[in-house]
Amino acid sequence: MKIVIDTDPGIDDAMAIFYAHAAPDIELLGLSTVFGNVYVEQATRNALYLVDMLGEDIPVAHGCDRPMDDRPFKSSVHVHGIEGFGDFTDIPERSTTLKESGPEFLVRMAREHKGELVICAIAPLTNIARAIQLDADFSKNVAKIVIMGGAVDCPGNVSDFAEANIFHDPRAAQIVLAAEGNIVLVGLDVTLKTLCQAADFDRMEREAPVTGGFLKRIGEFYLNFYRDVAGKEGCGLHDSTALIACTHPHLFSKEAIAVEVVSLGHEAGNTNRSTKSDSRQITVCLDVDAQQVNRMFLDQICSNR
């Protein structure tokens, strides 16, 4: 499957990018970066660092740096660390980015691989919304857009209502969810059921010393956040779960739902089931074979020696 990942690395983004590289059924065609877990300059630097660690010539396009409505934005330092990789802060500059912007790159790739390309969006949806504005056929050119975002039938993680990726740019989210084409939402309804435990990171380090060792190092910060703040023994396998939903949709229970995004007020970022008769339906993942998803993730990461 040809995939471009729209990303804001981010500890769980690093896990997903390493998974995509290792998975035999994924052809990773590129990364587009956006603000979210970190500021976009950090996201681009981090993406280039991960690509360099993999030893691959994977193109990276520098994307949007703020929400579409210019609302204030702060990076998730308490979740991902000051530079995005936990306590690992000495991140060198590597390689160079493409000259075209993130949205421009997405539009070009969708045209070049019309009907084949899957966009896996694991960050705020600003780049995707801008791509839709650049090319009215964008969402129809791609095979599907799979989004890690939202909390349809469960509480949010940045408020009682909102999941972080949707919360950071609800206007962009509404544009994307209303777009034509095949839109799949993989939100907290499933990604908080796929937890990665401390023992899993130990196995990654043991069996894949370079990439797995790096994930073990940065994952300790992530595990501590989930333990101390969320009260969970294990971190959400958010972004990797969305990638697995791209290639293995049969592992998920899904429903066609019209989803409306709240843009303002204390419920900003809420992804509600819409009661409007003319609302467009998308595919929403509501349950998951968590054991199988975790097994697939670990097996592929540990194969990346």
Query: What are the residue numbers of the active site?
Result: 8, 238
241, 194 in Cβ contact below 8 A?
A: yes
Which positions ≥6 away from 17 have C-beta within 8 Å? 5, 7, 9, 28, 31, 47, 50, 51, 54
CA distance 88 to 98: 26
Residues 6 or more apart in contact with residue 136 via CB below 8 angstroms: none
Longest dimension (CA), the chain: 53
With tokens 């209303």, the residue in question is 178
The conformational region for residue 288 under phi > 0 = left, psi -120 to 50 = alpha, else beta, is: beta
218 backbone dihedrals φ, ψ, rounded to 5°:
-80, -25
The Cα 274–Cα 61 span in angstroms is 34
Question: For the chain, what is the radius of gyration of the CA atoms?
Answer: 17
Angstrom distances, CA of residue 180 to CA of 66, 103, 144, 227, 256: 24, 17, 10, 40, 14
CA distance 246 to 254: 13
Tokens coding 176:
């994307």
Please answer whether residues 120 and 5 qualify as being in contact, where contact means their C-beta atoms are separated by less than 8 angstroms.
yes
Q: Can you tell me the distance from the alpha carbon of 126 to that of 214, in angstroms, rounded to the nearest whole number?
A: 29
